[in-house]
Amino acid sequence: MQDEMSIDKNSVIPIYYQLAKYFEKQIRHGELKPGEALPPEMEIASRFGISRMTVRRAISELVAAGMVYTQQGKGTFVARPRLDNVVFELSNFNEEIKKRGLNLQATILEAKIVKADENLKAKLGVEFNTRFLFFRIVLAADGERLAYETKYIIYTKQKPILESELKDPSLSNLVAIHSDCLPVSSKKVLQASVANKEEALILGISPNAPVFLIEQTIYDLNGKPIGWGKSIYRGDRYKLTSYDGWYAKD
């Protein structure tokens, strides 16, 4: 790692996100090449004076973006660009809001413990009555509601839900906080849809207005599903972009 990189611990930007963006830049500029290993977690934590959990959260973000992958007992490695597929990604909500000079607000409408129903049993392969943390979240910018999310996380830590831990309501972060398992991979399925009555009411749009529907599943190191979520994004606020390799965007 280069010495000029530093972490601003007083910034409003989360430390794990700063670290993830640093490695992303290294990869996109070719300073970390496909197949090359990232430094060990302890080395990264020591270098920047941060916790291993923070390092893990940064790595989980890179894994979810498909930029790195982990191998048990070996480490984390830079992934090869997927040049043989057209890869679409929905603009990152935080980055999009920042570009527009707006203020992001994440509001937790509901947070509680629920038991698995038929739907969760099918999606995550769990037994009936498996306990989940359930969240309903609204993401807004300068008071305008732009996205509505529901998330389910297998509840293993048996710890209370603290409002202070919900500043970053991304599924990967919530899993990292509330599960004993490290989130290392993610699958997202995107489709066009229309808002139902509940979604329209929450987002302040008309029923049947066009929206993006994204279903996300988070997996642990063994490929076991440990979290699932559904996000509804307003169709008039997002666009799809296709990238064909790790090139410098900035």
How many Cβ atoms sit within 10 Å of the Cβ of residue 90?
17
Query: Residues 158, 4: contact at Cβ < 8 Å?
Result: no
Backbone angles phi, psi at 130, to 5 degrees: -60, 135
pLDDT in tens, 94-123: 666 666 677 778 888 988 889 988 888 888
Which of 29, 55, 78 is the last residue before a domain boundary? 78
Domain-embedded: residue 249? no
Query: Residues 67, 32: contact at Cβ < 8 Å?
Result: no
* pLDDT of res. 123: 84
- pTM here? 0.59
Domain tally for the chain? 2
pLDDT mean across residues, the chain:
80
pLDDT in tens, 117-145: 888 888 888 888 888 889 899 988 888 89
As a three-state string, the secondary structure of 107-142 is EEEEEEEEECCHHHHHHHCCCCCCEEEEEEEEEEEC
Which residue segment(s) compose the domain that 230 sits in?
87-243
> 38 and 154: one domain?
no
